[in-house]
Chains A and B, each alone.
Chain A
Amino acid sequence: MATKEEENTVFDVEAANVLTKELRDVFASGKTRSYEWRISQLKSIVKMCDEHEEDIVDALRQDLSKPQLESIVYELTMVKNSCTLAIKELKHWMMPEKAKTSLTTFPSSAEIVSEPLGAVLIISAWNYPFLLSMDPLIGAIAAGNAMVLKPSEVAPATSSLLAKLLPEYLDCSSIKVVEGAVSETSALLEQKWDKIFYTGNGRVGRIVMAAAAKHLTPVVLELGGKSPVVVDSGIDIQIATRRIIVGKWGCNNGQACISPDYIITTKDCAEKLVDSLKKELEAFYGKNPLESKDLSRIVNSNHFSRLTKLLDEDKVSGKIVYGGERDEANLRIAPTILLGVPQNSLIMKEEIFGPLLPILTVSKIEDSFDIIKSGTKPLAAYLFTNNKKLKEQFLMSVSAGGVVINDTTLHLAVHSVPFGGVGESGMGSYHGKFSFDAFTHKKAVVYRSFVGDASVRYPPYTLGKLRLMKALITGNVWTILRTLLGMS
């Protein structure tokens, strides 16, 4: 049994030093590079998800009051899917890729070899604390690295569950969990990593990247932003409304990086939209949404205060058209819709990350693009329309990590497209093979022989060599022949 002193051991820079050295030694031994090791770890993750489904759902309930369906579908199933895909495709992913060589380097052959980066650090977030820890981990394992996972302390039940389960199921010499908050994370960030994968907000993202810069460590930053939903006229309002609701309140009660943050629609459509939202919200969550079991709660009192502050701002408090009720003791805020908030209000300046949905109105739907472009690039952007031209304009002019037309958030589950941000919403991407690539170095390899050594390459340089050099570099057979003949 650990003594009180041992339990209170601080994870400081010294401890982080020791840990990273251990990890590097294990990586250097080559243990994590074999196909067998990677597959065994991935299979164990699936086993862990199956055998501890209840514990995981329970931890998520403790941390976020997350409804069982959301925990099972958006956290567990997604993690298992990632594993299944990796297990199925790993052999293929690990294979070197042949590269074409041109006449310029004839005779030669070339390939691109995938190799693990080494010792990587994964810093997870609190809103999908299981998924956002395990999904990057799966990528790092598939790519053959050794790693440290730092789960978010804002979701403590999930953090300790991960700290308990991972050593039981996975190779604890090469996959380590470090729990803690700012000081532990800082201690980790001082170390030299071969890659850092961070999910969270832009403020901490800057700190992570600056720390990485000291060691020239590449980073993936999965951040957030204000993901807008543009709602055009001439669409099925009920379907659009339901899809917006499920993407907003159905995803951790709006506390998700790709949750619809705010809506922009025309003045004409606004009323119909609000009515439809009210109707569907009531159908989904009942007349007393504060008591609905199908909604997550606000994660903690900090965020609760932050969100109520957004609602209580003078410019905004009068704009609530639905909801607005709160229950501080239980950290609950009802699904709230606001109409016509000013663009310079707090609620329109920062990422909401909660159950509040402002609706902005414009005269022409095209004006919505300028509003979106006046802010920083979001992680996701959504458009509901049947107008092909509007859709094309949207795709061309609105930059975001990912875009969904006529639905919300689903691209998260499509593993054949990269998931990541741009600008303030982040850099790098993952999911599917992109997870493998995120933790891989693609090494260029050229094979040459000694046949056909072109003396034109070597000093002493002459103008004759220059002519032939030019021909060789353009790689055009006739030019080369002509030049060679010219020379003889």
Chain B
Amino acid sequence: MEGLEGTLAELRDTFKSGRTRSVAWRKSQLRAMIEFVQDNEEEMFKVLDQDLGKHPVEAYRDEVGVVAKSAKLSLSCVEKWMAPKKGNLPLAFFPASAEVMPEPFGVVLIMGSWNFPISLTLDPLIGAISAGNVVVLKPSELSPACSSFLAEAIPKYLDPKSIKVIEGGIDVCEQLLQQNWDKIFFTGSQRVGRIVMTAAAQHLTPVTLELGGKSPAILDSSSNPTNMKVIAKRIVAAKWGSCSGQACIAIDYMLVEEKFASYLIDLLEKTIKQFFGENPRESKSLCKILNKNNFMRLLDLLKDPLIRASVVYGGSVDEETMYIEPTILLNPPLDSQIMTEEIFGPLLPIITLNNIHDSIEFISSRPKPLAIYAFTRDETFKKQILSKTSSGSVTFNDTLLQFVCDSLPFGGVGQSGFGRYHGKYSFDTFSHEKAILQRRFFPELEPRYPPWNNLKFQFIKLLYAFNYIGLLLLLLGLKK
């Protein structure tokens, strides 16, 4: 505990010194970040493979590449982002100027997640640095190889007086959460999100919570057969091709019309074999289940006989190697755990509906997810999905892409979280927008001051209502 308080005191002093505010410091750190990624690419592939069995292509696409791209964008834009933005002023305030100046919050805490242990720690870090803060980075202890790698490598590249990596488990998290932070950025589960926000409330610390939920994929029959092959690929990639389904924006479950179900299942089976071979257990392109806890949790979801009966593909497991085959289920009971909890694993329930338009009611009667995916060519249906459902994001005819679009805010709503980042949103999320109004001593407006009389009253009333004509008439009336 003393060590932690000492660390925080050091960070506060660094921040007070103003060191992290300069453009030069921020750019130097961002350049160092780029160098860090270039120098350590192989090492990152190695630790991601150790923790999650992640293939270098996935590791690059979802982690290393994301960080490199983000650092480069921030480096080229940070000066622009830092510049004060002018605001319009009504004539009534003349002469004056109004602007908004972004300033760093101060000492920020970033808590990363285990499924994308590199990008979900370093991408927010890039935002915090661009905004001029000092940072404590707490990688997830559930991905230990990545956590130690970050603890060892980050101090070699980034300013150790301003950016600290603290490793540890629940007890360390609890200690961290007791401190008075200027901002907390958390990626993880809803359960822990509540704990983080409750702790933050004690110090009135603003938070960004990047959580999860059950992200559905809607597939309607308007898609033509040639596209169906591509659709199947995108679905399989968004489920099993992204950390084996252990991703906040992975497809959690699917909604299709009844008549379409067997065609879809067939297509998915073929695609799974295409991607992962006849024996997916031996595929190097499939991430492993994180650990025993998660494995048992997923097994539990399949335990119930009614659930087992709904498995139409896959379903085999190997406890020793903690392997679960890519599994598809058809219409498991809607009140079962697999349909009420976020799955976060390689199990894909398919729910059939009489009419695909019922998917809107299905989704909107459930907690708001982080993402909704909809495969359709029906423009009216698209509009209805947009206006009648709510989610962090919506992607039409593809999956996962919203994650790599730097111009789009990435974040949740409702139970899937609040706050957002990526691109400039990362800078904004770690900045306080300070409003600045600058006035001059002359000219002076006498009517502003008491004692009040009717003329002053009329004047001020008209002035505040921006009724310039009225003001003019009032003044003219006075002049006779």
| Interface residues, chain A, with chain B CB atoms under 8 Å away | 28, 30, 33, 67-69, 72-73, 77-78, 80-81, 99-102, 104-105, 108, 110, 112-113, 115, 117-118, 194, 202, 205-206, 209-210, 212-214, 216, 218, 221, 223, 235-236, 239-240, 242, 245-246, 250, 280, 283-286, 292, 294, 373, 386, 391, 395-397, 399-407, 410-411, 413-414, 416-419, 422-424, 426-429, 441-450, 453, 457-463, 465-466, 469-470, 473-475
B409 and A442 contacting across the interface, CB-CB below 8 Å:
yes
Determine the chain A residues whose CB is within 8 A of the CB of B393 once the complex forms: 443-446
Residue on B nearest A239 in the bound complex, by CB: B441
CB atoms of B407 and A99 under 8 A apart: yes
- With A110-B408, A213-B198 already in contact, the answer to whether A459 and B396 are too (CB < 8 A) is no
Contact A81 B464 (CB under 8 A): yes
Residues of chain B contacted by A406 (CB below 8 angstroms): 438-441
Q: Is the CB of A446 within 8 A of B233?
A: no
Contacts of A115 in B (CB 8 A): 387, 390
Bound: A417/B101 CA distance, A: 10
Find out whether the CB atom of A105 lies under 8 angstroms from the CB atom of B401.
Answer: yes
A209 touches B200 (CB 8 A): yes
On whether A423 and B182 interact (CB within 8 A), knowing A411-B98, A446-B401, A459-B276, the answer reads yes
Known: A110-B402, A235-B441, A416-B88. 14 other contacts (CB 8 A): A105-B404, A284-B449, A373-B16, A402-B434, A402-B436, A417-B435, A419-B435, A422-B432, A423-B182, A443-B390, A443-B394, A443-B413, A461-B285, A469-B57
CB atoms of B437 and A410 under 8 A apart? yes
Chain B residues lying within 8 Å of A465, measured Cβ to Cβ, are: 57
Q: How far is the CA of A223 from the CA of B26 in the complex (A)?
A: 31
Say which residue of A113, A221, A407, A461 sits within 8 Å of B55 (CB atoms): A461
Partner of A461 from B57, B392, B405 at Cβ < 8 Å: B57
With A284-B451, A448-B395 as given contacts, are A403 and B408 in contact (CB-CB < 8 Å)? no
Distance, CA A463 to CA B391, complexed state (A): 35
Task: Give the nearest-CB partner of A422 in chain B.
Answer: B432
**Cα separation A223 to B201 with both chains bound (whole Å):** 13
- Cβ–Cβ contact A213 & B194, under 8 A: yes
Given A397-B18, A443-B392, A460-B285, answer yes or no on A405-B204 (Cβ-Cβ < 8 Å). no
Quick check: A69 and B460 within 8 Å, CB to CB? yes
**Shortest distance in angstroms between B434's beta carbon and chain A's nearest beta carbon?**
6
Query: Which B residues are in CB contact (< 8 Å) with A458?
Result: 233, 236-237, 241, 275
Min C-beta distance of B271 to chain A, whole Å: 9
* B60 part of interface (Cβ distance < 8 Å): yes
Among A285, A401, A460, max chain B CB count under 10 A is at A460
Q: Which 3 A-B pairs have the closest CB atoms?
A: A416-B87, A459-B285, A461-B57
| Per-residue interface assignment for chain B, residues 302 to 336, with 1 indicating a CB less than 8 Å from any chain A CB and 0 otherwise | 00000000000000000000000000000000000
A399 and B391 within 8 A (CB): no
Residues in A with CB closer than 8 Å to B61 are: 457, 469, 473
Q: Given contacts A426-B204, A469-B60, is CB(A447)–CB(B396) below 8 Å?
A: yes
Q: Mark B247-267, 1 if CB is under 8 A from A, else 0.
A: 000000000000000000000
Bound CA span A470–B406, Å: 16
Residues of A within 8 A of B96 (CB): 407, 410
**In the complex, chain B residues 422-449 whose Cβ is within 8 Å of any chain A Cβ:** 432-441, 444, 448-449
Are the C-beta atoms of A30 and B401 separated by less than 8 Å? no
Q: At the interface, yes or no: B465 with Cβ under 8 Å from chain A?
A: yes
Q: How far is the CB of A102 from chain B (nearest CB, A)?
A: 7
Q: Which residue of B lies closest to A294 (CB)?
A: B450
Instruction: State how many angstroms separate the Cβ of A200 from the closest Cβ of chain B.
Output: 12
Query: Whole-angstrom distance between the alpha carbons of A102 and B401 in the complex?
Result: 11
- Write the nearest CB–CB distance from B440 to chain A, whole angstroms: 6
B397 in contact with A250 (CB, 8 Å):
no
Return 22 A-B CB contacts under 8 Å, by A number: A77-B461, A110-B407, A214-B194, A216-B414, A223-B204, A242-B449, A250-B450, A395-B436, A403-B435, A407-B439, A413-B93, A417-B98, A417-B435, A427-B204, A446-B394, A446-B395, A446-B396, A447-B396, A453-B230, A461-B58, A466-B56, A473-B69
CB within 8 A of A429: which of B58, B198, B420, B433?
A: B433
A453 to B105, CA, bound (A): 42
